[in-house]
Amino acid sequence: MASQPTEIPKTFYDFTVKDAKGNDADLSVYKGKVLLVINVASKCGLTNSNYTELNELHQKYKDQGLEILAFPCNQFGAQEPGSNEEIEDFVCTRFKSEFPIFDKAGKWGFFGDDIQWNFTKFLVDKDGKVSDRYYPTTPPLALSQMHKGLEILAFPCNQFAAQEPGSNQQIEEFVCTRFKSGFQIFDKIEVNGDNAAPLYKFLRLGKWGFFDDDIQWNFAKFLVDKEGKVVNRYYPTTLPFSLEHDIKKLLAESHEC
């Protein structure tokens, strides 16, 4: 479970979550980075396109300050049923991903509504504020036009049709092996409902507090700026490279640490 800050959180950096191995991960280590935060699943129809583009996006902008954070979630169609270990193995083996995979999450919301599905995306600016949200269908490469300081954070979630059923290890192995992903996979979480992780409640509130709808599906995406503020949210169908313009804009912004 991700920890709940003792005070009302002001930025993304106020949270501590679990990584795919169950260790505490203090998100303040990402200060000054542009963050792409996604709930992921290994058995979703959006899995191949999203992980492929997320890897390309991470490789293109990681040296300029982009981080991708992935959170496995099994809430959408039970498409992430594995353990964290199985998820991590899947991601690392199949996709060769290098970004972080966190603990499996449940679905919960901050842009006002629930996460709609796997691969919803959030953009976090360099101040740690959520600046935007992208739907699961938004391709990662669509978040183009960004330069330095982007990191992609992926959060596995099994809430959508049980499409992330594996353990954290299985998820991480899946991402790293199949997609050769270089971003981090975190502990599996829930993103919607009463058991939603506090971090995703924060993300769903968004920049102005009116994005508070549920995550719709796997691969919802959020962009977080260099100050830890949520600046945008993208639907699960938004492919990662569709965010490139927004990412480059945030990376180009100056930030004094």
- Domain ranges (residues) in the chain: 32-252
Question: What pLDDT was estimated at residue 7?
Answer: 65
Give me the torsion for CA of 202, 203, 205, 207, rounded to 10°.
110
Q: What is the pLDDT of residues 15-58, one digit of tens each?
A: 999 998 889 999 999 999 999 999 999 999 999 999 999 999 99
Nearest to 144 by CA among 12, 33, 244: 244
Q: Which CATH class is domain 32-252?
A: alpha beta
Active-site residue, from 44, 73, 92, 157: 44
Q: What is the pLDDT of residues 74-96, one digit of tens each?
A: 998 889 989 988 898 888 888 88
Residue 44 bears catalytic tag: yes
What contacts 34, CB < 8 A, 6 or more positions away?
A: 65, 66, 67, 123, 124, 125, 126, 146, 148, 149, 150, 151, 223, 224, 225, 226, 247, 250, 251
**Which portions of the chain are predicted below pLDDT 50?**
1-2, 108-111, 145-147, 257
Q: Would you give the DSSP letter of residue 137?
A: B
